[in-house]
Amino acid sequence: MTPRLLVIAGSDSSGGAGIQADLKTAQAFGVYCQTAITAVTVQDTNGVKSVNPVDAAIVRAQVEAALGDIGADVIKIGMLGNGDIAAAVADVLETNDIPLVLDTVILSSSGAALLDDAGISVLKKRLMRRATLVTPNIPECEKLTGLAPVSEHRIRNAAMVFKMLGTDNVLFKGGHGDGAVLRDTLWTGGEFIAFEAPRQETRHTHGTGCTQATAIACGLAQGRSLADSVSRAHSYVQGAIKTAPGLGQGNGPLGHG
């Protein structure tokens, strides 16, 4: 059977992140992707102009329609937008045990808020406990745990906070870090696995988080292990940055092909 993925996330009018990046990534990996749109954003490569949430009942109905017919081998959550939507999604997911990759989308690359405090509370109290993997970047980790994972010591402390929140598998993404080499750290099974790559001097990195989480979800849908899925996704994102088409005046999209 063709691997099936359901992505619950927002739409990016620039095509570089959100649902649009998710669809491109799934297509690249040969995974069939369904979508539940949580919000329509107005944005370009210079930043987010507005965020327009979809009614929570409609979001829930999209998820139920996808799971009730085609079904899914893995679910990926990206931008949720607000607490009502987050709670509606959590309600639906309580009725199944489909593996879940939770990308904790809280802020845009330009600093715009993409999830309110009520939504963050649902993440911490309900969705993290349900997730197979949580994938925060440095600012998101600091928002969720009070710790910026910029050193091995802080990553270990942040992992313990996530454990208290109910999750044992976290990918600490290091793209917002400093230095010539950037490191992602996967915490799983009580162990820490590092994935390093040289910093690429480019402004075309829009949608890296969405792309990476979806690439990981594709690996899980295809029956790969978590560590192998993360490793392949890490390499894919590095290649997508390298082959970015150079579009836009700001933070441009990746080369998903």
The structural domains of the chain, with segments of one domain joined by +, span: 4-242
Active site residue 208: yes
Catalytic entry in 124, 141, 173, 219? 173
Helix then strand then coil, in percent of the chain rounded to 5, is 40, 25, 35
Pairing of strands 181-188, 191-198: antiparallel
35 is catalytic: no
DSSP for 127-142 reads IHHH-SEE---HHHHH
The residue whose two tokens read 């990926």 is: 76
List the pLDDT tens digit at each of the 257 positions of the chain. Answer: 899 999 999 999 999 999 999 999 999 999 999 999 999 999 999 999 999 999 999 999 999 999 999 999 999 999 999 999 999 999 999 999 999 999 999 987 666 788 999 999 999 999 999 999 999 999 999 999 999 988 899 999 999 999 999 999 999 998 776 677 889 999 999 999 999 989 999 999 999 999 999 999 999 999 999 999 999 999 999 999 999 999 999 999 999 99
Confidence (pLDDT) at 108:
73
Residues 207, 219, 248, 252: which is the catalytic one? 207
Q: Is 141 a catalytic residue?
A: no
* CATH number given to 4-242: 3.40.1190.20
Active site residue 209: yes
Annotation marks residue 83 as catalytic: no
C-alpha 236/C-alpha 69 separation (Å) is 30
**Which entry of 25, 41, 145, 208 is annotated as an active-site residue?**
208
pLDDT score of 174: 82
d(CA 74, CA 51): 26
Residue 48: which of 21, 23, 12 has the closest Cα? 12
Could you tell me the sign of the dihedral formed by the alpha carbons of 167, 171, 176, 182, in that order? positive
Catalytic residue among 15, 210, 219, 248: 210
71 as an active site residue: the answer is no
